[in-house]
């Protein structure tokens, strides 16, 4: 299938559109531009793919960045190397296909070849399950700058919660890589071509210590087998992305929600569209395009989406994302009205596509080093609006789920040590609080 390219967006057009909503935005690079979110623009934009396919896994793509707090392979990219990436699916089927993205690339991405198999321990693949990946019946593919490509279907029966290992081989330099920074899953690298190698011995290179990243892999789709219900997209910041979860443990809140749905016999895939340090109102040098800019691509363009859970605004309130990137910005002050206007924009955009919108309250952060009474007041006020305005179709009260006594702090044992991000136990409390009936 031919690669698909997004439409570039100029700074003037982006700012003008968002100014009409009293929301400031920064420049989106032309090679990776996503149109700003408005209800009218999203209603008119067709879904990325159509047909009987359903999303089974996703990761929002980001521009390569040398963020000082987390080592990745994004800036150098890859050269004569194999990259093996492990994902856990939230839906099953008889056939599977993969989306690869060069959204933030400035040169064509030349993929020599790829294969997929059932993941075993670490970088190992279950023998006999490896299948070559084809693109329009070819073993290799070139993805243009700003584009993405969808693989041909692979006959590989999978079930919800199965793990797959995708191996990409590049026989020349890729340049900086479009990627997803915090995967909480180990990605492995080997010198040379090890696509058909189920043995993990060659894959001795991994970022350690670290949280892992995914490279070029935008999504996994399935079809066939038991009918799959409409997908639930978890859209948010680091608490959706899963910072504080167990590396390779698949215990972020969207993972645990997928387990609940599977156990209940409700075949709704759960797709994770969280980005650590991401902001609702402003783009970031190392934390992705703003929620407003990326909502269409990361939520509404997902195949067969029916519900979105929105958990966003904490990084705007804390103004932490740019310090992490080592950038000093002079954005307009973050006010309750600006946050509400942005949430209403996302809700209108979802409804224009027939997608149900569930609002998640922001979790407390008492005890965190950047806690202030003013920031906490703004968080509480936004939570009150989410709970009582009726703007969302339903509410997921993450705040009360993890802090039932209303102390304004995540209890010990439920945070990861920083008083801001949940621990696996905290993510379990959040996932268990979601009303499955509210997800359609």
pLDDT tens column, 241-259: 999 999 999 999 999 999 9
Q: What is the pLDDT of residue 207?
A: 80
Q: What is the pLDDT of residue 139?
A: 98
Q: What is the pLDDT of residue 329?
A: 62
Within 13 Å, how many C-alpha atoms sit on residue 424's CB side?
9
Q: Which residue has the tokens 């002079």?
A: 330
Q: Which residue has the tokens 């149900």?
A: 356
Alpha helices in 21-134 (DSSP H): 39-44
The pLDDT tens digits for 201-225 are 999 999 876 789 999 999 999 999 8
Q: What is the pLDDT of residue 302?
A: 96
Specify the DSSP element, H or E, that contains 371.
Answer: none
In the numeric block, which tokens belong to residue 38?
Answer: 């408005």
Q: Which residue has the tokens 């243009």?
A: 144
Q: What is the pLDDT of residue 211?
A: 85
Going from the C-alpha of 386 to that of each of 149, 207, 355, 358, the distances in angstroms are 37, 39, 18, 9
Q: What is the pLDDT of residue 34?
A: 43
Q: Which residues of the chain have pLDDT under 70?
A: 1-51, 66-69, 209, 320-330
Dist. CA 92–CA 160, nearest whole Å: 5
User: Is residue 177 within 8 Å of 73, Cβ to Cβ?
Assistant: yes
Going from the C-alpha of 384 to that of each of 142, 234, 362, the distances in angstroms are 49, 21, 10
Dist. CA 315–CA 399, nearest whole Å: 16
Dist. CA 317–CA 319, nearest whole Å: 6
Q: What is the pLDDT of residue 23?
A: 31
Q: What is the pLDDT of residue 36?
A: 43
Name the pairing type of β-strands 305-311 and 270-274: unpaired
Dist. CA 437–CA 439, nearest whole Å: 5
Dist. CA 167–CA 400, nearest whole Å: 41
């Amino acid at each position: 299938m031919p690669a698909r390219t997004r439409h570039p967006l100029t700074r003037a057009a982006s700012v003008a559109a968002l100014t009409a909503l009293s929301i400031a935005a920064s420049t989106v690079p032309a090679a990776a531009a996503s149109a700003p979110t408005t209800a009218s623009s999203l209603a008119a934009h067709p879904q990325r793919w159509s047909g009987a396919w359903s999303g089974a896994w996703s990761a929002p793509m980001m521009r390569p960045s040398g963020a000082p707090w987390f080592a990745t392979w994004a800036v150098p990219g890859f050269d004569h190397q194999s990259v093996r990436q492990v994902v856990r699916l939230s839906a099953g089927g008889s056939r599977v296909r993969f989306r690869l993205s060069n959204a933030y690339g400035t040169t064509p991405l030349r993929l020599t070849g790829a294969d997929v198999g059932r993941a075993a321990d670490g970088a190992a693949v279950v023998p006999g399950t490896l299948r070559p990946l084809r693109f329009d019946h070819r073993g290799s593919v070139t993805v243009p700058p700003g584009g993405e490509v969808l693989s041909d279907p692979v006959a590989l029966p999978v079930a919800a919660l199965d793990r797959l290992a995708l191996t990409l081989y590049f026989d020349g330099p890729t340049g900086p890589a479009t990627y997803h920074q915090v995967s909480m899953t180990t990605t492995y690298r080997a010198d040379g071509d090890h696509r058909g190698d189920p043995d993990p011995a060659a894959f001795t290179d991994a970022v350690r210590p670290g949280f892992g990243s995914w490279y070029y892999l935008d999504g996994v789709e399935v079809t066939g087998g038991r009918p799959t219900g409409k997908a639930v997209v978890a859209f948010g910041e680091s608490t959706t992305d899963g910072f504080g979860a167990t590396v390779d443990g698949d215990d972020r809140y969207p993972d645990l929600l997928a387990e609940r749905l599977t156990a209940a016999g409700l075949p709704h895939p759960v797709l994770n569209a969280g980005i650590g340090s991401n902001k609702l109102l402003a783009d970031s040098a190392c934390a992705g395009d703003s929620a407003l800019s990326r909502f269409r691509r990361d939520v509404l363009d997902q195949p067969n989406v029916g519900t979105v859970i929105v958990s966003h605004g904490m990084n705007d309130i804390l103004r932490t994302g740019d310090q992490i990137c080592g950038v000093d910005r002079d954005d307009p002050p973050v006010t309750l009205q600006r946050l509400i206007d942005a949430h209403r924009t996302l809700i209108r955009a979802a409804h224009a596509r027939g997608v149900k919108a569930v609002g998640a309250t922001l979790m407390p952060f008492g005890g965190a080093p950047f806690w202030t009474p003013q920031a906490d007041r703004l968080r509480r006020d936004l939570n009150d609006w989410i709970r009582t305005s009726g703007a969302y179709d339903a509410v997921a009260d993450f705040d009360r789920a993890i802090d039932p006594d209303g102390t304004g702090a995540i209890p010990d044992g439920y945070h990861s040590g920083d008083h801001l991000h949940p621990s696996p136990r905290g993510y379990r409390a959040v996932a268990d609080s979601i009303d499955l009936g509210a997800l359609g």
